Chains A and B, each alone.
Chain A
Amino acid sequence: MSIWAFTLIAVLFAVGSYLLMERSLTRVALGVGVIGNGVNVLIIASGSDAGEAPIIGREGVLADPLPQALVLTAIVIGFALLTFLMTLAWRNWTITGNDEVEDDVEDRMITRRAEQTAKLGDEPHPEDVQT
């Protein structure tokens, strides 16, 4: 693996991770795209040495075709995922007017209750008492 591939993988993964932690779904989708590219480069760079295209009859050392086949599958699957994710973002926009992920309502409720009970000094929320 060359130092360039190494750096490229590092940057793609870092940028991808960074974007994945966004609230905006579009940005998350961008993150998926970037990190997906990172994975593809990763597999090619670590899975085979550079060489000639693996077509029998060509001269020189042929590159390993298996990682290429794997990555090809991965690329197409990545496209499918990205397409669906973007449609999700679009649908989210038609509902809320933005593409940001909201927090889960029920979880928030539990958090709030937990905070309340903490304040009241271990008195449980009336709803939580067994009936």
Chain B
Amino acid sequence: MVFFAAVVAHFAVAVLALIGLRRRPVIAACAGLVVLAGTALVVVTQAIGATSAPRKTIEWLPLLGFNFTFQVDGFAVVMALLVSLLGFGVLAYSIAYFEHDATFTRFVGLFMAFAGSMTGLVLAEDLFTMFIFWELTSVWSFLLIGLHDKSEVARRSAVRALLTTGAGGLCMLVGIGLLQNQFGTTSFAQLREAAPTGKMASVAASLLLLGAFTKSAQFPFHFWLPGAMAAPTPVSAYLHSATMVKAGIVLLARTAPIFGDTGVWRWWVVLAGVITMLIGGWRALRETDAKLVLAHSTVSQLGLLTVLFGIGSPYATYAGVAHLVAHAIFKAGLFLGVGVIDHELGTRDVSKIGAARRSVPVSVVAIGACLLSMAGIIPLFGFATKEKALVALLDAEFGLVGSIALWGIVAGSVFSVAYSVRLLHALVRTPNDSASNDEHHAHHEASALVRTTLAAPVVVAAVVSLGFGFAASTVGSWLVSPSSALDVKAVSKLALWPGINDALLISLVVIAIGAVIGWKAPLEDNSAQQPQGERVFDAVYDATIAGAKRITAVIQPGSLPIYVGVTLLLVSIAPLSATFVDGFGSLSGLTSGTALEASVSIIAIVLALGVAVLQSRFTGAMFLGGVGYAIAALFALRGAPDLAVTQLLVETLTIVVFLLALRAMTRITTRPVARFPQITRMFIAATVGIAIPLLALAARDARTAPSASQEYFARSVDEAGGRNVVNVILVDFRGFDTMGEIVVLAIAALGVANLVRAAEQHRRAAISVKEVAGS
């Protein structure tokens, strides 16, 4: 319960920052820091004290199996610690970073909301719970990428990120639905017991993978992550390197034990991971913006993690957890470090960042340490974890997939060494044009406090990377509990010096090749173009919109007659289909009728045709009145005098209304407008005309039960006190219909009055405008 409260506290601070403390964001940020630290503390104490993992279920929508289930197992502890400690560092850093930025309020609010969601995500013990926080992180990430919403790049990138992760999330949703449908549960533990197999399970697994891939920017969805770098540095550091992108990895880690053996799973994961690793590495070597280099390196490292968790062997899982931690630490340090340089120099161009050596030497050294950790150089933590990864893959026995994974990782490692070295190179090199930097420097005099605050987290990250490296075996033992939470067999250890083995040899070769490539790699490569993935995304987006327009243009032409035509056609389909099912048998039910009925009907028919043929509007109205009179006669003949009287009166009034409206319209300007083709109209009219009486005939023939009117006859005189049954129905048995009817009549009158008033007002306005213009 305490950790749930911790999650809630995040959101509380978020709301506070967005609404209550809009003018004092720093206070809100401090509150956030307290919450983050508190969360870390809570998680640690919960984990240490408990013998089994503490667990909490909060019912939400039990009928659909929607419940929040949290469990603080080892893996969750590590992840939660990462989230809150890195969050603490980044938030502290951001106070300085956003010193003069009006968006800080928004940042703090969204940041805390994000941190809360992320904490919820990693603590989730249930696919469904995870999904909820998963989607929330997408939304916060969207809003954070677009924090500087005046920049078009930021807006576009935010949209791409949201739509990509959103699409993945929807796939995941279907996957969850399938699993829940099949196995009645979404809990990780219960699903593992259910051991889903079969077609449905592999479809579900694939859908979940799509979710994970989009979130963790795996091929082919890797494009959005570099774009997300449009966000301010703290956002990039936290969301897009250390935490949110790990959500996909968390999902993989949690589900690998469930689906690891469902055939497609391992192939999918390994292939996507390897390709991503290579593409990310390649692009990281070519970018000139240091932040983008880091972004691509993140993509590449995520590929590595994907492979590790996807392979799903105990060792690989252990290695995955270890590398996850290592990556989070050094990557956060790197991003924040680049932020420091950016803050200092006003540029992130790799050919210029060398100048930072002079102004922020401590930070640059710290960045260097982080880079070495990323390259996997002894004695930094990154070395130990990467070694473990290689060992795990060398040990794993997965045939072709295993080999692909192994050599993929080897190739990927070459890249990671190479881009790390390239950045190192950039840092130690003295840039050509230092003049402009000095100038920039001049008007960017930050206070000492700010500089210290900015540098501190970077240094901490570097120190931790180094410290964990030296204490690899201790840290390794800490990691046993997390990885065994995922897979009970995943018990292993880390070592700073593993001894000479295949993995070490491979590493040495990798480092050698990578270092050479990285050092030689050009820093001023300016072949930067829009990445393929983004272009594909934009093309798909634009094509969707264009296609939608074309379809809409056909379906929604804006022409009333066409709408009416379509509707009428549908109206006639109903009776016709009925006739085709039942046949034309009911036609034999037609009687010849009396001569009087015949003559009245003929008069009505002739007049009705006249309405259609005659072009004059008022004559049409007259004919309509004639039709009405004839029909009144018909009613009279059929024993409906009430109806006949009302019909007569109403028809007369109708003519009067037509007169009142039309007498003004005697001068009508008819414009040449596109009309509905005559022949189509006639066809539709004929269909309706044939279809409906046929249905009427069939319906009449089908009557078996007596009419409800029996009751009316029986009760009319004694209980309702009237002999005219029609009237008694109108005012008593079905008086409520009449009630509604007079309301309709009244509103229609109000509508008429309203329109006339509107006309008067508009006319008055027009006249006064004219007068003003005249005077």
Tell me if chains A and B make direct contact, with any CB pair below 8 A. Answer: yes
A82-B654, A114-B550 as given contacts; A3 in contact with B744, CB under 8 Å: no
Q: Report whether A15 and B549 are in contact in the complex, using a CB–CB cutoff of 8 Å.
A: no
Q: How far is the CB of A106 from chain B (nearest CB, A)?
A: 7
Residue ID in chain A nearest B677 by CB atoms: A21
Query: Which residues of chain A are near B417, meaning CB under 8 Å?
Result: none
Q: Report whether B661 and A77 are in contact in the complex, using a CB–CB cutoff of 8 Å.
A: no
A14-65 residues with Cβ-Cβ distance < 8 A to B are: 14-15, 17-24, 26-27, 29-30, 33-34, 37-38, 40-42, 44-48, 50-57, 62-65
A37-B631, A75-B650 as given contacts; A65 in contact with B591, CB under 8 Å: no
Chain A interfacial positions (CB closer than 8 Å to B) = 1-15, 17-24, 26-27, 29-30, 33-34, 37-38, 40-42, 44-48, 50-57, 62-66, 68-73, 75-84, 86-91, 93-94, 97-108, 110-111, 113-115, 117-118, 122, 124, 128-131
Q: How far is the CB of A3 from chain B (nearest CB, A)?
A: 5
Query: Which residues of chain A are near B675, meaning CB under 8 Å?
Result: 23
Q: Report whether A13 and B692 are in contact in the complex, using a CB–CB cutoff of 8 Å.
A: yes
Q: Report whether B669 and A98 are in contact in the complex, using a CB–CB cutoff of 8 Å.
A: yes
Known: A1-B696, A76-B646, A87-B751. 16 other contacts (CB 8 A): A6-B693, A11-B608, A15-B608, A21-B565, A26-B621, A37-B631, A38-B692, A52-B639, A72-B646, A75-B650, A83-B657, A83-B752, A86-B658, A98-B669, A98-B671, A100-B671
Residue ID in chain A nearest B680 by CB atoms: A21
Q: How far is the CB of B705 from chain A (nearest CB, A)?
A: 13
B556-586 residues with Cβ-Cβ distance < 8 A to A are: 556-561, 564-565, 568
Q: Report whether B642 and A66 are in contact in the complex, using a CB–CB cutoff of 8 Å.
A: no
For the complex of A and B, the 10 pairs showing the least CB-CB separation, nearest first, are: A14-B689, A107-B558, A2-B593, A104-B558, A80-B748, A114-B553, A4-B601, A18-B685, A63-B639, A111-B553
Q: Report whether B639 and A50 are in contact in the complex, using a CB–CB cutoff of 8 Å.
A: yes
Contact with A along B711-728 (1 / 0, CB 8 A): 011001100000111100
Partner of A13, one of B611, B689, B724: B689
A10-B693, A66-B712, A98-B669 as given contacts; A75 in contact with B552, CB under 8 Å: no
Partner of B561, one of A7, A14, A22: A22
Residue ID in chain B nearest A49 by CB atoms: B638
Complexed CA–CA distance, A103 and B563 (Å) = 11
Q: Report whether B647 and A75 are in contact in the complex, using a CB–CB cutoff of 8 Å.
A: yes
User: Residues of B within 8 Å of A, CB-based: how many?
Assistant: 119
Residue ID in chain A nearest B756 by CB atoms: A87
Q: How far is the CB of A57 from chain B (nearest CB, A)?
A: 6
Q: Report whether A65 and B709 are in contact in the complex, using a CB–CB cutoff of 8 Å.
A: yes
Q: Report whether A10 and B690 are in contact in the complex, using a CB–CB cutoff of 8 Å.
A: yes
Complexed CA–CA distance, A30 and B604 (Å) = 15
Complexed CA–CA distance, A8 and B550 (Å) = 42
Q: Report whether B646 and A9 are in contact in the complex, using a CB–CB cutoff of 8 Å.
A: no
Query: Which residues of chain A are near B604, meaning CB under 8 Å?
Result: 8, 11-12
Q: Report whether A114 and B693 are in contact in the complex, using a CB–CB cutoff of 8 Å.
A: no
A53-B639, A64-B709 as given contacts; A7 in contact with B741, CB under 8 Å: no
Q: How far is the CB of B541 from chain A (nearest CB, A)?
A: 6
Complexed CA–CA distance, A115 and B662 (Å) = 39
Q: Report whether B752 and A76 are in contact in the complex, using a CB–CB cutoff of 8 Å.
A: no
Complexed CA–CA distance, A100 and B604 (Å) = 27
Q: Report whether B700 and A14 are in contact in the complex, using a CB–CB cutoff of 8 Å.
A: no
Q: Report whether A68 and B693 are in contact in the complex, using a CB–CB cutoff of 8 Å.
A: no
Partner of A26, one of B549, B564, B665, B763: B665
Q: Report whether A44 and B640 are in contact in the complex, using a CB–CB cutoff of 8 Å.
A: yes
Partner of B557, one of A57, A68, A82, A103: A103
Complexed CA–CA distance, A1 and B744 (Å) = 31
Query: Which residues of chain B are near A48, meaning CB under 8 Å?
Result: 638, 707
Q: Report whether B560 and A23 are in contact in the complex, using a CB–CB cutoff of 8 Å.
A: yes
Query: Which residues of chain A are near B556, meaning CB under 8 Å?
Result: 104, 107, 110
Q: Report whether A83 and B748 are in contact in the complex, using a CB–CB cutoff of 8 Å.
A: yes
- B643 at interface (Cβ–Cβ under 8 A)? yes
Q: How far is the CB of B571 from chain A (nearest CB, A)?
A: 8
Partner of B685, one of A17, A73, A94: A17
- B617 at interface (Cβ–Cβ under 8 A)? yes
- B27 at interface (Cβ–Cβ under 8 A)? no
A66-B708, A117-B550 as given contacts; A56 in contact with B717, CB under 8 Å: yes
Of A40, A46, A122, A129, most buried by chain B (CB within 10 Å of CB) is A46
A18-B682, A87-B756 as given contacts; A51 in contact with B639, CB under 8 Å: yes
Query: Which residues of chain A are near B724, meaning CB under 8 Å?
Result: 54-56
Residue ID in chain A nearest B697 by CB atoms: A1
Q: Report whether B593 and A18 are in contact in the complex, using a CB–CB cutoff of 8 Å.
A: no
Partner of A42, one of B561, B696, B707: B696
B730-762 residues with Cβ-Cβ distance < 8 A to A are: 730, 734, 737-738, 741, 744-745, 747-749, 751-752, 755-756, 758-759
Q: Report whether B631 and A97 are in contact in the complex, using a CB–CB cutoff of 8 Å.
A: no
Query: Which residues of chain A are near B521, meaning CB under 8 Å?
Result: none
Residue ID in chain B nearest A76 by CB atoms: B741
Query: Which residues of chain B are near A15, meaning CB under 8 Å?
Result: 608-609, 611-612, 685, 689
A4-B597, A15-B611 as given contacts; A71 in contact with B558, CB under 8 Å: no
Complexed CA–CA distance, A82 and B656 (Å) = 11
Q: Report whether B608 and A34 are in contact in the complex, using a CB–CB cutoff of 8 Å.
A: yes
Query: Which residues of chain A are near B602, meaning CB under 8 Å?
Result: 4
Q: Report whether A90 and B665 are in contact in the complex, using a CB–CB cutoff of 8 Å.
A: yes
Complexed CA–CA distance, A46 and B575 (Å) = 14
Q: How far is the CB of A5 from chain B (nearest CB, A)?
A: 7
Query: Which residues of chain B are near A42, meaning CB under 8 Å?
Result: 692-693, 696
Q: How far is the CB of B623 from chain A (nearest CB, A)?
A: 8
Q: Report whether A6 and B697 are in contact in the complex, using a CB–CB cutoff of 8 Å.
A: yes
Query: Which residues of chain B are near A29, meaning CB under 8 Å?
Result: 658
Q: Report whether A11 and B605 are in contact in the complex, using a CB–CB cutoff of 8 Å.
A: yes
Partner of B737, one of A2, A73, A80, A118: A73
Complexed CA–CA distance, A111 and B697 (Å) = 43
Q: Report whether B592 and A44 are in contact in the complex, using a CB–CB cutoff of 8 Å.
A: no
Q: Report whether B664 and A93 are in contact in the complex, using a CB–CB cutoff of 8 Å.
A: yes
Query: Which residues of chain B are near A66, meaning CB under 8 Å?
Result: 707-709, 712, 729
Q: Report whether A10 and B593 are in contact in the complex, using a CB–CB cutoff of 8 Å.
A: no
Complexed CA–CA distance, A62 and B643 (Å) = 15
Of A69, A71, A94, A106, most buried by chain B (CB within 10 Å of CB) is A69
Q: Report whether B609 and A11 are in contact in the complex, using a CB–CB cutoff of 8 Å.
A: yes
Q: Report whether B640 and A63 are in contact in the complex, using a CB–CB cutoff of 8 Å.
A: yes
